[in-house]
């Protein structure tokens, strides 16, 4: 039976339009899902929206809408964006779904019964008109960050989850499961910053607002944020409502993809909740960095926000996804600049990839009337070196992606693209043709087509449309020649005819003009 692969995105706060940074978690998760699917695994991807809480309630009130009307509208917008980005998820959970709320209540009850939750007081600085608590650091000039008015110290009754009880178990778990946290340095951050100094108990209910899941045994409380949000990963699979189908099949998750700002919740609180429920823990939590702008975080007030739709409409989906995935290092934040976006487009996609395809298709047409020669079985030294390089790159790609080094895995593919371009210069097919070295010329054409086929398969999880375009132009129709397994074959192409006229996939952009265009987008309010 095929391996299963269950991957999740964070569930999004529907508090505003998603920009290219927010879309990143989903683009990564979906690419990983497609990669595992291509490898023949039974993949399942969950995404959704995190719809409760005071902030949502306040935003809705300001718009004169009920919270439900507001979140319905926003969840619809999220689905529309994912459709535009061709994101193929298997389920979309909303924390306002009845299937979720009922199970959250059961889970909360169980925590209470087990004595994991106790009643105490939530203390903080409170803005009366906004009805919101803030911490000292959230204040702007000592005042409410939303309305600028004075805040007052306040306390309210709340339930707390006893995290301390589980701290040692968590440390032991980290120790025994080296793959639980990717990249590894995030684990040390958790230990040094939060666990070693003494884990604080977590506030899990509130009484100062009511847009949330009611605590059954104490209905003036609503469940507060993380018990409600994190449990989506299991409620969506039917935990405690239909445990024998999806939950049985897919839990534990193979990967939770999360941004660095929510690492703590996924690496500390979520494993502890699962321990309290006596459930297995996810195999890996992959923590990614952030997409930043030159002047820091994206924000409307700074006038530096870019929305995915804006890039997609002008440059296409694949170019947009390629940039996001390629420009995010594992060890630090990625930076979006109009210049780097256009460079990636002009160099990686147009010069390197698209030109390789064009040159190859044109030569096969010119020298062999479009018919791809057969593999000759006795490659010469230059051809053999290319074959070995290619197989080596495929292995490197797999190592990197299996270790969640997404940008590096793309780099390995582009190394193969560059090496294949270099092979054309090395073998100089035009000279072989002139000197009538037909056997050698045939072998060069075969190797070029074979490498393009492999490149198309390798990029498929990230750039589906570009991958299909390459395969179509080089005449690969047989499904067996599009599989992951077929990547390691080097001799199976027979009766392949390339299209008559190469169609450029990416045309060189006028850099200055396009940089100006993107800068204008960023200024738009």
Distance CA 62, CA 16 (A): 14
By CB under 6 A, name the one of 203, 236, 258, 458 that touches ligand MSP: 258
Residue range at the interface with ligand MSP (CB under 6 A); choices 8-16, 140-148, 272-280, 442-450: 8-16
- Residue number, 298 or 361, with CB nearest to ligand MSP: 298
Residue from 268, 281, 231, 198 nearest 110 by CA: 231
**DSSP letters along 111-151, please?**
HHHHT-EEEEEEEEEEETTTTEEE-GGG-BTTB-TTT----
Contact call for residue 271 and ligand MSP (CB under 6 A): no
- List 156's β-bridge partners, or say none: 122
For residue 384, the 8-state DSSP code is H
Q: Which is nearer to ligand MSP, 233 or 397 (CB)?
A: 233
CA distance 287 to 159: 29
Report the C-alpha gap between 410 and 180 in whole angstroms. Answer: 23
CB of 149 to ligand MSP, least distance (A): 25
Sheet holding 202-203: strands in order across? 132-134, 117-127, 152-161, 202-203
The residue of the chain with the least Cβ separation from ligand MSP equals 259
* Neighbouring C-beta atoms of residue 281, cutoff 10 Å: 17
Window 378-397: residues binding ligand MSP (CB under 6 A): none
Q: Does 93 bind ligand MSP (CB under 6 A)?
A: no
489-508: contacts with ligand MSP (CB under 6 A): none
One residue of 56, 59, 230, 493 binding ligand MSP per CB under 6 A? 230
CB of 79 to ligand MSP, least distance (A): 15
Select the residue interacting with ligand MSP from 5, 6, 7, 12 (CB under 6 A): 12
Query: Binding ligand MSP by CB under 6 A: which of 67, 259, 282, 475?
Result: 259
Check residue 229 for interaction with ligand MSP (CB under 6 A): yes
Of residues 170 and 234, the one with the C-beta less far from ligand MSP: 234
Interface with ligand MSP includes 13 (CB under 6 A)?
A: yes
Q: Which is nearer to ligand MSP, 22 or 54 (CB)?
A: 22
Torsional class of 428: left (φ above 0), alpha (ψ -120 to 50), beta (otherwise): left
Read off the DSSP letter of residue 13.
P
Site for ligand MSP in 38-57 (CB under 6 A): 50
Q: 3-state class of 157 per DSSP?
A: strand
**Binding footprint of ligand MSP on the chain (CB under 6 A):** 10-13, 21-22, 24-25, 50, 229-230, 232, 258-259, 261-262, 290-291, 298
């Amino acid at each position: 039976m095929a391996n299963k692969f269950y991957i999740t995105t964070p569930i999004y706060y529907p508090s505003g339009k998603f920009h290219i940074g927010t879309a990143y978690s989903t683009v990564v998760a979906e690419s990983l899902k497609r990669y595992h699917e291509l490898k023949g695994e039974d993949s399942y991807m969950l995404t959704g929206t995190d719809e409760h809480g005071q902030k949502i309630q306040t935003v809705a009130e300001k718009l004169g809408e009920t919270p439900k009307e507001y979140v319905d509208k926003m969840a619809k917008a999220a689905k529309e964006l994912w459709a535009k980005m061709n994101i193929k998820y298997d389920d979309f959970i909303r924390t306002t779904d009845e299937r979720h709320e009922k199970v959250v209540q059961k889970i909360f009850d169980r925590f209470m019964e087990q004595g994991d939750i106790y009643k105490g007081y939530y203390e903080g600085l409170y803005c009366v008109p906004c009805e919101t608590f803030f911490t000292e650091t959230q204040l702007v000039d000592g005042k409410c960050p939303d309305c600028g008015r004075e805040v007052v110290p306040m306390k309210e009754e709340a339930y707390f989850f006893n995290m301390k009880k589980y701290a040692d178990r968590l440390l032991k778990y980290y120790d025994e499961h080296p793959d639980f946290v990717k990249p590894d340095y995030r684990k040390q951050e958790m230990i040094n910053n939060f666990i070693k100094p003494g884990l604080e108990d977590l506030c899990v209910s509130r009484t100062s607002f009511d847009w949330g899941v009611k605590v059954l045994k104490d209905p003036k409380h609503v469940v507060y944020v993380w018990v409600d949000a994190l449990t989506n990963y299991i409620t969506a699979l039917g935990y405690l409502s239909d445990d024998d189908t999806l939950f049985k099949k897919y839990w534990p998750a193979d990967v939770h993809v999360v941004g660095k700002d929510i690492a703590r919740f996924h690496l500390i609180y979520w494993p502890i909740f699962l321990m309290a429920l006596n459930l297995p823990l996810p195999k890996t939590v992959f923590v990614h960095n952030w997409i930043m702008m030159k002047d820091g975080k994206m924000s409307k007030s700074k006038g530096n926000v870019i929305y995915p739709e804006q890039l997609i409409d002008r440059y296409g989906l694949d170019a947009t996804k390629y940039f996001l995935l390629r420009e995010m290092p594992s060890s630090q934040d990625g930076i979006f600049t109009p210049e780097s976006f256009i460079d990636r487009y002009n160099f990686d996609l147009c010069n390197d990839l698209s030109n390789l395809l064009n040159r190859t298709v044109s030569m096969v047409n010119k020298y062999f009337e479009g018919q791809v020669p057969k593999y000759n079985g006795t490659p010469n030294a230059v051809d053999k070196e290319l074959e070995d390089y290619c197989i080596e790159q495929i292995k490197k790609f797999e190592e990197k992606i299996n270790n969640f080094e997404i940008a590096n895995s793309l780099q390995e593919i582009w190394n193969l693209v560059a090496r294949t371009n270099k092979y054309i210069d090395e073998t100089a097919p035009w000279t072989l043709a002139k000197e009538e070295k037909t056997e050698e010329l045939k072998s060069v054409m075969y190797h070029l087509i074979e490498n393009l086929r492999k490149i198309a398969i390798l990029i498929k999880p990230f750039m589906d449309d570009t991958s299909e375009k390459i395969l179509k132009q080089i005449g690969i129709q047989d499904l067996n020649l599009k599989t992951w397994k077929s990547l390691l074959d080097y001799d199976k192409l027979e009766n392949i005819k390339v299209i008559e006229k190469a169609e450029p996939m990416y045309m060189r952009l006028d850099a200055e003009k396009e940089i100006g265009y993107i800068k204008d987008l960023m200024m738009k309010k």
